[in-house]
């Protein structure tokens, strides 16, 4: 099964991958199969067609699902509790009201993009979505605007930072591999990141929001709606509560930059509290006091809130895990390596080469981090042969390529689909197009900058 019609092994792998993806999309979108089951079947089919041994396929499935949920399940659980406290206390309503009053209903989606951009600097994309989804739901309800018109700008801000802006871990991987200057990379990333986030966020969000009408999932919308008739909490304490995990993660990132060898105990402590799980745990517990007891809720109320909020996330968690299983089969079957080898044989501009390698691996594996890490290893030797290249822009090109064309093999695709209550085709037309706009426009701006730098 390793090759068909005498084609090379790499080409055969790509054909099997395409067949598996088409099979997956058709079963979910046309025949309405359960995404969790369909993802597992597609991953199993791809692994066997690619020539993996049955036991290797099973190991990839369980490893991918477990590896994905090892962090994500905890993040979703803690983040949902934080969101529930934001909703029950009126905190989400307070932030939404303040944003609408300050920016006006017609411009609030611009504010959403900047919120996503700022919150996303120290946190992973999935963490940012969990933190901000209650505010998205509340602002959309309050302004009567399309859910996508509010949500896409936040997603664009989060995704741009994830791929382009240090000290986010993904860009830092390439900075280390290419020996790039951190300060210059941050400056260039803002020059590139803000324009592409604006175009793919508020502008594209307004366009697609008029064409795709979706409502929040009923159970989550109910969960994140204000039910208490007591007054709203103060804006300052509400903002501090939701930004607490962001602040803690930023402290961890700064400590790591200042003391990369973690030679001091204080650095290790900062890195510990800055880990996304610990930061969210601290923030969730803090919210029990700042938005719970301080709002005159009883311990029974808080226990009830934090228990009942988890049920609606069960399906989301399983689907994200299955997406991780599918991604792991793609990686272990050698699809990412096959694409990297094909890209390496092309002799092109090093910036375009870095973007292309990262983009192809991203499309194949569904992981921006895997694409960034793998591409950095492939591009670094090529970069060494091009001493005149601007290495900071090559870092950004690698990051831009790593966020292109999120589709069914990306756990983030399924997270967005479920939280925004979209079908697979709707998610492809909105989220996938947004990611591709970020990537392609980022490349264009990077190439323009390279002409002057």
Q: In whole angstroms, give the CA distance from residue 341 to residue 10.
A: 8
Most distant pair of Cα atoms in the chain: their distance: 72
Predicted pLDDT at 396: 94
Q: In whole angstroms, give the CA distance from residue 246 to residue 16.
A: 41
Count of residues making up the chain: 453
Residue 3: pLDDT band with limits 50, 70, 90: low
Q: In whole angstroms, give the CA distance from residue 358 to residue 277.
A: 28
Please work out, in degrees rounded to the nearest 5, the angle formed at the alpha carbon of residue 237 by the alpha carbons of 232 and 243. 120
Q: What percent of the chain has pLDDT above 90?
A: 26
User: Between these two residues, 339 and 13, which has the higher pLDDT value?
Assistant: 13
Predicted pLDDT at 379: 79
Predicted pLDDT at 202: 93
Predicted pLDDT at 168: 65
Predicted pLDDT at 428: 94
Query: Is 161:193 a contact under the CB 8 Å cutoff?
Result: yes
DSSP calls for 104-152 = -TTTHHHHHHHHHHHHTTTS-HHHHHHHHHHHHHHHHHHHT--HHHHHH
Tokens of 117: 């951009």
User: Between these two residues, 391 and 167, which has the higher pLDDT value?
Assistant: 391
Predicted pLDDT at 254: 84
- In this predicted model, what pLDDT tens digit does every residue of 62-102 receive, in sequence order? 998 888 788 778 877 887 788 788 778 888 778 777 877 88
User: Between these two residues, 219 and 271, which has the higher pLDDT value?
Assistant: 271
Q: In whole angstroms, give the CA distance from residue 338 to residue 130.
A: 34
Q: Which helix (H) or strand (E) holds 52?
A: none
Q: In whole angstroms, give the CA distance from residue 8 to residue 329.
A: 20
Residue 447: pLDDT band with limits 50, 70, 90: very high
Q: Write down the residue that tokens 């089919």 correspond to.
A: 45
For residue 266, pLDDT beyond 70: yes
Residue 122: pLDDT band with limits 50, 70, 90: low
Residue 342: pLDDT band with limits 50, 70, 90: low
Residue 344: pLDDT band with limits 50, 70, 90: low
For residue 39, pLDDT beyond 90: no
Q: In whole angstroms, give the CA distance from residue 215 to residue 446.
A: 37
Q: In whole angstroms, give the CA distance from residue 375 to residue 402.
A: 9
For residue 229, pLDDT beyond 60: no
For residue 116, pLDDT beyond 80: yes
Residue 350: pLDDT band with limits 50, 70, 90: confident
> Smallest Cα–Cα separation from 438: which of 107, 111, 113?
113
Q: How far is CA 275 from CA 64, 80, 322, in A?
A: 21, 18, 24
Classify each residue of 324-363 as buried b or exposed e, where b means 16 or more C-beta atoms within 10 Å of its C-beta.
Answer: bbbbbbbbbbbbbbbbbebbeeeeeebbbbbbbbbbbbbb
Q: What is the mean pLDDT of the chain?
A: 83
Query: Which stretch of 216-230, 243-257, 271-285 has the lowest confidence by average pLDDT?
Result: 216-230
3-state class percentages of the chain: helix first, strand second, coil last, to nearest 5 = 80, 0, 20
For residue 448, pLDDT beyond 90: yes
- In this predicted model, what pLDDT tens digit does every residue of 387-437 receive, in sequence order? 778 899 999 999 999 999 888 878 789 889 988 999 999 999 999 999 999
The answer to whether the pTM exceeds 0.75 is no
- In this predicted model, what pLDDT tens digit does every residue of 176-187 receive, in sequence order? 778 888 778 888
Residue 260: pLDDT band with limits 50, 70, 90: confident
Residue 114: partners with Cβ closer than 8 Å, 6 or more residues away: 157
Residue 209: partners with Cβ closer than 8 Å, 6 or more residues away: 145, 146, 147, 148, 149, 150, 152
Q: In whole angstroms, give the CA distance from residue 330 to residue 47.
A: 8
């Amino acid at each position: 099964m390793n090759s068909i019609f005498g084609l090379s092994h790499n080409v055969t792998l790509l054909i099997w991958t395409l067949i598996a993806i088409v099979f997956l999309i058709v079963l979910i979108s046309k025949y309405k199969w359960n995404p969790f089951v369909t993802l597992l079947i597609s991953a199993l089919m791809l692994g066997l067609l690619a020539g993996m041994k049955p036991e290797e396929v099973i190991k990839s499935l369980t490893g991918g699902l477990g590896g994905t949920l090892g962090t994500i399940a905890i993040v979703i659980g803690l983040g949902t509790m934080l969101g529930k406290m934001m909703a029950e206390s009126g905190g989400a309503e307070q932030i939404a009201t303040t944003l609408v009053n300050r920016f006006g209903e017609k411009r609030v989606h611009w504010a959403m993009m900047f919120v996503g951009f700022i919150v996303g600097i120290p946190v992973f994309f999935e963490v940012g979505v969990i933190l901000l989804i209650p505010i998205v739901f509340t602002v959309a309800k309050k302004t009567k605007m399309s859910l996508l018109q509010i949500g896409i700008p936040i997603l664009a801000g989060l995704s741009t930072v994830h791929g382009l802006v240090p000290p986010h871990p993904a860009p830092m991987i390439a900075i280390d591999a290419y020996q790039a200057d951190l300060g210059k990379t941050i400056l260039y990333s803002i020059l590139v990141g803000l324009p592409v986030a604006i175009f793919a966020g508020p502008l594209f969000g307004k366009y697609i929001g008029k064409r795709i009408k979706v409502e929040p999932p009923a159970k989550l919308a109910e969960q994140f709606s204000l039910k208490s008739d007591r007054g709203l909490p103060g804006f300052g304490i509400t903002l501090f509560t939701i930004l607490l995990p962001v602040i803690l993660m930023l402290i961890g990132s700064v400590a790591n930059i200042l003391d990369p060898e973690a030679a001091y105990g204080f650095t290790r402590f900062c890195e510990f509290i800055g880990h996304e799980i610990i930061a969210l745990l601290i923030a969730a517990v803090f919210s029990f006091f700042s938005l719970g007891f301080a709002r005159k809720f009883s311990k029974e109320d808080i226990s009830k809130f934090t228990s009942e909020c988890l049920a609606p996330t069960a399906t989301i968690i399983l689907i994200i895990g299955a997406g991780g299983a599918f991604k792991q089969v793609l990686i272990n079957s050698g699809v990412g390596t096959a694409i990297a080898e094909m890209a390496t044989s092309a002799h092109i501009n090093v910036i375009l080469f870095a973007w292309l390698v990262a983009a192809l691996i991203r499309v194949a594996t569904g992981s921006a981090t895997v694409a960034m890490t793998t591409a950095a290893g492939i591009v670094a030797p090529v970069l060494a042969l091009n001493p005149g290249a601007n290495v900071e822009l090559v870092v950004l090109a690698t990051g831009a390529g790593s966020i292109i064309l999120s589709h069914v093999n990306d756990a983030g695709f399924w997270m967005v689909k479920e939280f925004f209550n979209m079908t697979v085709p709707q998610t492809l037309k909105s989220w996938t197009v947004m990611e591709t706009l970020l990537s392609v426009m980022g490349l264009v701006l990077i190439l323009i900058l390279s002409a002057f730098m």
